[in-house]
Amino acid sequence: MRPALLDPVFAEASSLPGIGPKVEKLIARVTGVAEGPPLIRDLLFHLPSSAIVRERIESLSELPESGHVIFEGVVEHHEAPRRNSRAPFRAVIGDGTETVELVFFHARSSWIEKILPIGERRLVAGRLDRFDYRAQIAHPDFIGKPDEAGEILAVEPVYPLTEGLAQRTLAKAIRAALEKLPELPEWVTPALLAREKWPGFRDALMALHMPQEGAALVPESPAWRRLAFDELLASQLALLLVRGKARKTAGKARQFTGGQAEKMVSRLGFELTGSQKQAIEAIRTDLRSPERMLRLLQGDVGSGKTLVALSAMADVTEDGGQAALMAPTEVLARQHFATIAPLAATAGLKAELFTGREGGGNAKLAALAAGEIDIAIGTHALFQEAVRFKDLALVVVDEQHRFGVHQRMLLAAKGAAPDLLVMTATPIPRTLVLTYFGDMAVSELREKPAGRRPIETRIASSERLAEVVERIRAAVEKGEKVYWICPLVEESESTDAAAAEERHRELSAIFGEKALLLHGRMKPAEKDAAMAAFRAAAGAVLVATTVIEVGVDVPDASIIVIEHAERFGLAQLHQLRGRVGRGEKASSCLLLYKPPLGETARARLKVMRDTNDGFAIAEADLKLRGEGDLLGTRQSGMPGFSIARPEFHGELLELARAEAKLILAHLEKDGGGAPEAVRALLYLFGRDAAVRLMRSG
C-alpha cells in the first residue's frame, strides 16, 4: 500500500488552482506522462533547465551593458506610436541619473497608461539591452509598485516547455505543487547523507525549484545529485528485489578441469588476449559456484567474444551438461556453427544447428533430448516447444540487444536454472549497464586481438557516388572484398530490400558476377550462397542491408561503404564498420551522406571518423542525444528516468546499488516489511511494482 503521507503528492495536477483540461494536457506532454492524468509528483520532478538571475540596481547610473535587472524609477513620459504604425509603444522611466526605455509591441495604450502612469514611481524587472546606445527593456517581466518587491524572484527558474505552454503558467503550477509537498521520512542512511552533504528530499526539490543562485541549477549540485541518487536507488532496489527472486532458484555447481576448452584453443593459430583469458577465468568461477551465473560479456566488435563463449560451453560439457548458443539472425547462427562445430569436434564434442529451417520432428531433436548433442546453436527456433535438452547447463545469448528479456527467460526455462552468459557488442556505457541489467556481473574485453590495424574512416557526399564506385572498382580488381551497405529507407525489410536490389543491379553492370546481394527478404539458401561466395571470392562487392550488421565475420573483407550514413544510429554505424578491420589488412570505411547535413548529423559522423573506440562512441552518442533536446521531450538520456542523467550521475549508480543492498539486508534481518521511508521512495519514483515483492508491502 502507498504510504498515506504521499497522498497529496499523488493528487492530480488538475487539482491545483489554474489548471484546466487544456493546461493539464500540456503538462502531461511536457512531463512525459503517457498514461493517466499528470500528478503533482510529475510537476515536482520537472526540473528547471536554467535560471534567470536578476541584479538589483540602486542607481540607474550604474546600469550594466545588458542582463537581467531590477530597479525603481519614475515614469517620465510616453511615446505612443502613430495610428496604423507598426512602431512599438515606449515608456521612459528614470531616476534623475539615467533613463531606461520600456518597449511594448502590439500593446494597447490604455493598458500602458494604467500600469505606467506618468509621474508615478514604479518597480521594474526585465532583460536590459542597448539599442542605439539607449538602455531598453522590451516587455518587462514585472512592473509594480515599489512595495511589491517581494513578488519578484531574484533568481527565477526557467523550465523546459512544450508548444502552447507558457513559462509563467508552468512555473505557477510547480509553485503550487511545492506547497503540497510534505516532509517525508529519510530513506538515505545518515552516514551517506553526512558524507555527501546532501539536503533532504524535500529541501532538495525546493532548492532546485526556488534556487537562491543560478549556479545551483546544475546536475552537479548537491540537490540535483541527491534526487538523482534517490531515483537510482529506487530503480536499484526494484532490480535487486526482482533478481532476488530469480536467484532463489539456485544453480548447480559444475565440475570440470577446463581441459576440453584448452584442447580447442591450442588448435587456434593465435594466443588468446589477456582480457579473453580473464573473462574465461571469471566465467569458470561462476560455473563452479552453486549460485546461478548471470554474467554480461561486453566487448567491442571484433574483440573475440565467440571464443570466450566456446570455452565456457566446453567447460560445462565436461560435467555432462549441454550448452545453447542463441544468435539473433540465421546468418549469424550459421556462421557461429561454421566456426564452432569443427573446433568442438577436435575436443570430441558435437555441435548442431537449430534454425527455423531445420524445424522440429527430426532426428536432431531426439539427439538433443537424449544428450547426444553437446552444443546447440540456433536462432529463436531454440525456444520452440519441441526443443528439449537432457541437461541444459549454460545458455549463451549473443548480441543481446536484439532479444528481449522475455526471450531470454523462455530459453532459460528449458533447463533447471541454467547459467546465463549474455554477450553484447553494442557498447553499453558502464553507467547504463547497471540500470539495464541490474547486478549482472560484467566481463569486458577491452583489448583487441594483436595485429589489428585501426580502420580509416572517411566521410563523403553521395553526390560523389561515381567517384566512389570508380575507387571500389580499382580495389576489387586488386582482390579486395567490399561490403556495400544500402540506405535504410524505412523500418521495413521490403523497402530496404528493394533499395539493395536496385543498387545491386547497378553495380552488377560494372562488377558482373563479383557483385553479390544479401538482404533479409532472400531465402535462407540464397543467403548462404551469397555469404559463401563472398567468403570464397578473390575480390567482390557484397551489397547488403543491415542484415550484416551483427556479428558477420569475414576476416579478409577490408572496405565498407555505407550509404545514407546519416540515417543510422552511431552504435549501428560502429557495428557495421566492425565488419572490416578483422584481419591484418589495412581497412577503410566510407560514410556516404545525402546533403544537406544537419549540425547534429555532422557531429555524429565526425565522431565516427575520429574514433574507433566503441565505448567512446557510445558515450558521445549519449551526449549528442542528450543535448539534442527537442521541444517537449524529456531531457533525460535514460529511458524511464526523469532526474538522473547518465553523463552526470553515472558514478552514483554504484553507490545506489551498494545502498540498495544495505537496505535490503536490513529488511531481511528484521524479517519485517519495508519501513515507510523505503516504500515512499519506491512509490515516488514509480517503482511500486517491486513493493509487492517485499514480504509485507
H/E stretch holding 247: helix 222-248
Q: Which of 14, 31, 235, 306 binds ligand ADP (CB under 6 A)?
A: 306
Closest separation in Å from C-beta 267 to Mg ion: 20
Q: Which CB sits closer to Mg ion, 307 or 561?
A: 307
What x/- string results for residues 34 through 53 when contact with ligand ADP is judged by CB under 6 A? --------------------
Q: Judged by CB under 6 A, does residue 637 bind ligand ADP?
A: no
Q: Which of 272, 369, 498, 655 binds ligand ADP (CB under 6 A)?
A: 272
Q: How far apart are the first and last CA of the chain?
A: 6
Give the C-alpha distances (Å, rounded to integers) separating 77 from 62, 86, 112, 115, 376: 22, 20, 11, 13, 89
Q: Which CB sits closer to ligand ADP, 238 or 395?
A: 395
Q: Judged by CB under 6 A, does residue 425 bind ligand ADP?
A: yes
CA distance linking residue 351 with residue 339, whole number of Å: 10
C-alpha cell at 421: 552468459
Q: How many Cα atoms are found within 13 Å in the side-chain-facing hemisphere of 33?
A: 22
Residue 489's binding partner among Mg ion, ligand ADP, none (Cβ under 5 to 8 angstroms by kind) is none
Q: Which CB sits closer to ligand ADP, 43 or 264?
A: 264
CA distance linking residue 416 with residue 414, whole number of Å: 7
CA distance linking residue 376 with residue 395, whole number of Å: 10
Q: Judged by CB under 5 A, does residue 646 bind Mg ion?
A: no
Q: Judged by CB under 6 A, does residue 449 bind ligand ADP?
A: yes
How many Cβ atoms sit within 10 Å of the Cβ of residue 66? Answer: 12
Q: Which CB sits closer to Mg ion, 124 or 324?
A: 324
Residue 303's binding partner among ligand ADP, Mg ion, none (Cβ under 5 to 8 angstroms by kind) is ligand ADP
Residue 558's binding partner among Mg ion, ligand ADP, none (Cβ under 5 to 8 angstroms by kind) is none
Q: Which CB sits closer to ligand ADP, 149 or 272?
A: 272
Whether residue 566 contacts residue 594, with contact meaning beta carbons closer than 8 Å, is answered with: yes
Q: Which residues within the stretch 570-589 sit at the binding site for ligand ADP (CB under 6 A)?
A: 582
- Which of the ranges 296-304, 375-383, 618-626, 653-661 carries the binding residues for ligand ADP, by CB under 6 A? 296-304
Q: Which residues within the stretch 549-568 sit at the binding site for ligand ADP (CB under 6 A)?
A: 551, 553, 555
The order of strands in the sheet holding 455-461 is 455-461, 587-593, 557-562, 481-485, 540-544, 515-518
Closest separation in Å from C-beta 400 to ligand ADP: 12
- Which of the ranges 7-15, 91-99, 159-167, 271-279 carries the binding residues for ligand ADP, by CB under 6 A? 271-279
C-alpha cell at 610: 575520429
Burial letters 179-202, b for 16+ CB under 10 A, else e:
ebbeebeebbeeeeeeeeebbbbe
CA distance linking residue 516 with residue 483, whole number of Å: 10
- Which of the ranges 81-89, 321-329, 547-555, 619-627 carries the binding residues for ligand ADP, by CB under 6 A? 547-555
Number of residues that bind ligand ADP (CB under 6 A): 18
Closest separation in Å from C-beta 543 to ligand ADP: 22
Give the C-alpha distances (Å, rounded to integers) separating 534 from 340, 514, 528, 551: 20, 9, 10, 15
Helix axes 524-536, 330-346, angle to 10 degrees: 60
Give the DSSP letter of residue 152. S
Residue nearest ligand ADP, CB atom distance: 304
Q: Which CB sits closer to Mg ion, 41 or 336?
A: 336
Instruction: Classify strands 142-144 and 375-378 as parallel, antiparallel or unpaired.
Output: unpaired
- Which of the ranges 22-30, 247-255, 342-350, 544-552 carries the binding residues for Mg ion, by CB under 5 A? 544-552
Residue 302's binding partner among Mg ion, ligand ADP, none (Cβ under 5 to 8 angstroms by kind) is ligand ADP
Q: Which of 38, 48, 88, 304 binds ligand ADP (CB under 6 A)?
A: 304
Closest separation in Å from C-beta 305 to ligand ADP: 4
Closest separation in Å from C-beta 301 to ligand ADP: 4
Q: Judged by CB under 5 A, does residue 302 bind Mg ion?
A: no
Q: Which CB sits closer to ligand ADP, 307 or 622?
A: 307
Q: Is 401 left (phi over 0), alpha (psi -120 to 50) or beta?
A: alpha
Helix axes 274-288, 305-318, angle to 10 degrees: 30
C-alpha cell at 55: 541584479
Residue indicated by cell numbers 546465463: 420
Closest separation in Å from C-beta 582 to Mg ion: 11
For residue 464, what are the contacts with CB-CB under 8 A and spacing of at least 6? none
Q: Which of 273, 275, 329, 431 binds ligand ADP (CB under 6 A)?
A: 273
Q: Judged by CB under 6 A, does residue 303 bind ligand ADP?
A: yes
**Quick one: CA dihedral 561, 562, 563, 565, positive or negative?**
negative
Residue 427's binding partner among ligand ADP, Mg ion, none (Cβ under 5 to 8 angstroms by kind) is none
Q: Judged by CB under 5 A, does residue 551 bind Mg ion?
A: yes
Q: Judged by CB under 6 A, does residue 279 bind ligand ADP?
A: no
Closest separation in Å from C-beta 315 to ligand ADP: 17
Q: Which CB sits closer to Mg ion, 254 or 582?
A: 582
E-only strand ranges, 80-197: 89-94, 99-104, 121-131, 134-138, 142-144, 155-158
Whether residue 165 contacts residue 100, with contact meaning beta carbons closer than 8 Å, is answered with: no
Q: Which CB sits closer to ligand ADP, 238 or 537?
A: 537
Residue 455's binding partner among ligand ADP, Mg ion, none (Cβ under 5 to 8 angstroms by kind) is none
H/E stretch holding 310: helix 305-318
Instruction: Classify strands 375-378 and 155-158 as parallel, antiparallel or unpaired.
Output: unpaired
- Which of the ranges 303-311, 469-477, 496-504, 587-595 carries the binding residues for ligand ADP, by CB under 6 A? 303-311
Q: Which residues within the stretch 308-367 sit at the binding site for Mg ion (CB under 5 A)?
A: none
Q: Which CB sits closer to ligand ADP, 302 or 487?
A: 302
Q: How many Cα atoms are found within 13 Å in the side-chain-facing hemisphere of 143?
A: 22
Q: Which of 105, 111, 131, 270 binds ligand ADP (CB under 6 A)?
A: 270
Angle at 654 between CA 648 and CA 657, to 5 degrees: 125
- Catalog residues that contact ligand ADP under the rule CB under 6 A: 270, 272-273, 276, 299, 301-307, 425, 449, 551, 553, 555, 582
- Catalog residues that contact Mg ion under the rule CB under 5 A: 551
